[in-house]
């Protein structure tokens, strides 16, 4: 075969001693082919330097062997853990992952579902944040399978999507812990109230009556929100003795800023976050957090999506829940306040 002559799927089939259809099934990771035959075909592909025309294959079999992962914000430290788990699980099944960031924007979340066909994927793993009201209806009408990762939102039953979520509100564990260690002026630091609303609702329910001066709603889930919240609480006449942070990034921002202000954690103020991302163990002090089982949730969401892609006729949608776990670290150890942090 000459240097400039393009290797075709027919050449691969002849080299491997199989039919063209068998080569196509091997390339697309389809069933009905033995591992021995698949290995022989893959070896032939490597020896001949064959490059499959994935676009042409997709048009013929209407399958791209790609899925999309739609997340709110890749800058949030828990998202890379989720992305990694999705990618590794998909890879085991011969799928690639396309990632999309919505920035938690309602319009972008809706547009992603409306234009799902333009993504050239076989299905979608969706982690909404804004949850616009018309989102469930769009998901029900979506032409491709959707698997939802749901945190902090109470969903209406009957949605036409496989859903993986937590069995109880993360905030319930935070508040139970802070109350148990004797904290009485518990503050809340988070994003706007209607974002991950179940986390704030757990705060309200635990206290019964909320002192609104102890609530700080920032613009997002960032370190900066945590730092701004620390400044706000420090400026109060009577500081809180504990802060429930909506996520770990906010918790880290709080702890770092409190340290700059001379406020001791946990002696003066206990801090607990949500996510249990890897950075909670490298801060000083290490930060208590509720594990939302990110890697496990992402793995199962991926497996459910791939299962539905393989069997489009499956009628029953699954809703599987994981048990969140509180990990207690240095930032919320039970201690007695000995001084007022404003009097140094």
pLDDT, one tens digit per residue, over 126-150 is 999 988 989 999 999 999 999 999 9
Same fold, 9-61 and 66-167+293-324: no
What's the pLDDT band for 53 if we cut at 50, 70, 90? low
What's the pLDDT band for 341 if we cut at 50, 70, 90? low
The fold of the 170-292+328-332 domain, in CATH, is Rossmann fold (3.40.50)
Q: Residues of the chain with pLDDT > 90: what percent?
A: 66
155-178 b/e (C-beta count within 10 Å ≥ 16 → b): beeebebbbbbbeebbbbbbbebb
Residue 125 above 60 pLDDT? yes
Residue 61 above 50 pLDDT? no
pLDDT of the residue at 344: 40
Average pLDDT (73-83) is 91
Q: Residues of the chain with pLDDT > 70: what percent?
A: 90
Q: CA 131, 300, 76 angle in degrees (round to 5)? A: 50
Q: Which helix (H) or strand (E) holds 290?
A: strand 288-291
Domain 9-61 sits in CATH at: 1.10.260.40
Q: Look over the chain and give the mean of its residue pLDDT values, rounded to a whole number.
A: 89
Instruction: Please list the residues that pair with 270 across neighbouring strands.
Output: 242
Residue reference for tokens 């904290």: 183
309-321 tens-digit pLDDT: 988 666 789 999 9
Q: Which residue has the higher pLDDT, 104 or 215?
A: 215
Residue 339 above 80 pLDDT? no
Are the C-beta atoms of residues 29 and 267 closer than 8 Å to each other?
no
Q: Which residue has the higher pLDDT, 13 or 189?
A: 189
198-254 tens-digit pLDDT: 999 999 999 999 999 999 999 889 999 999 999 999 999 999 999 999 999 999 999
State how far the Cα of 183 lies from the Cα of 336, in Å rounded to an integer. 9
Between strands 288-291 and 325-327, the pairing is: antiparallel
Domain 66-167+293-324 is found in CATH 3.40.50.2300 = yes
Residue 343 above 50 pLDDT? no
What's the pLDDT band for 193 if we cut at 50, 70, 90? confident
Q: Which helix (H) or strand (E) holds 69?
A: strand 66-71
Q: Which residue has the higher pLDDT, 258 or 73?
A: 258
Average pLDDT (252-265) is 97
Are the C-beta atoms of residues 256 and 273 closer than 8 Å to each other?
no
Domain boundaries, the chain: 9-61, 66-167+293-324, 170-292+328-332
């Amino acid at each position: 075969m000459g240097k400039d002559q393009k290797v075709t799927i027919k050449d691969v089939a002849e080299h491997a001693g199989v039919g063209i259809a068998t080569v196509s099934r091997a390339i697309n990771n389809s069933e009905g082919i033995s591992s021995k035959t698949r290995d022989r075909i893959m070896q032939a592909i490597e020896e001949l330097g064959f490059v499959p025309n994935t676009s042409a294959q997709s048009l013929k079999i209407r399958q791209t062997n790609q899925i999309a992962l739609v997340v709110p914000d890749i800058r949030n430290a828990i998202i890379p853990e989720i992305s990694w788990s999705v990618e590794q699980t998909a890879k085991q099944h011969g799928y690639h992952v396309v990632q999309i960031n919505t920035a938690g924007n309602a319009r972008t979340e809706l547009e992603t579902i409306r234009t799902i066909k333009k993504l050239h994927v076989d299905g979608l793993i969706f982690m909404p944040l804004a949850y616009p009201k018309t989102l469930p209806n769009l998901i029900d009408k979506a032409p491709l399978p959707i698997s939802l990762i749901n945190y902090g939102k109470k969903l209406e039953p009957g949605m036409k999507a496989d859903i993986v979520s937590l069995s109880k509100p993360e905030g319930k564990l935070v508040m139970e812990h802070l109350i148990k260690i004797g904290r009485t002026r518990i503050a809340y630091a988070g994003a706007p109230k209607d974002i991950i609303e179940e986390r704030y609702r757990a705060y309200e329910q635990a206290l019964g009556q909320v002192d609104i001066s102890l609530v700080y709603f920032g613009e997002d889930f960032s370190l900066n929100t945590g730092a701004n919240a620390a400044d706000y609480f420090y400026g109060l006449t009577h500081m809180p003795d504990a802060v429930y942070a909506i996520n770990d990034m906010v918790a880290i921002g709080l702890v770092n800023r409190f340290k700059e202000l001379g406020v001791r954690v946990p002696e003066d103020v206990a801090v607990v976050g949500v996510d249990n991302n890897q950075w909670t163990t490298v801060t000083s002090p290490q930060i208590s957090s509720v594990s939302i089982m990110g890697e496990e949730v992402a793995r199962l969401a991926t497996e459910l999506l791939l299962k539905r892609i393989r069997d489009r006729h499956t009628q029953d949608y699954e809703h599987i829940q994981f048990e969140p776990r509180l990990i207690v670290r240095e930032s919320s150890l039970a201690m007695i306040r000995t001084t007022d942090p404003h009097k140094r």
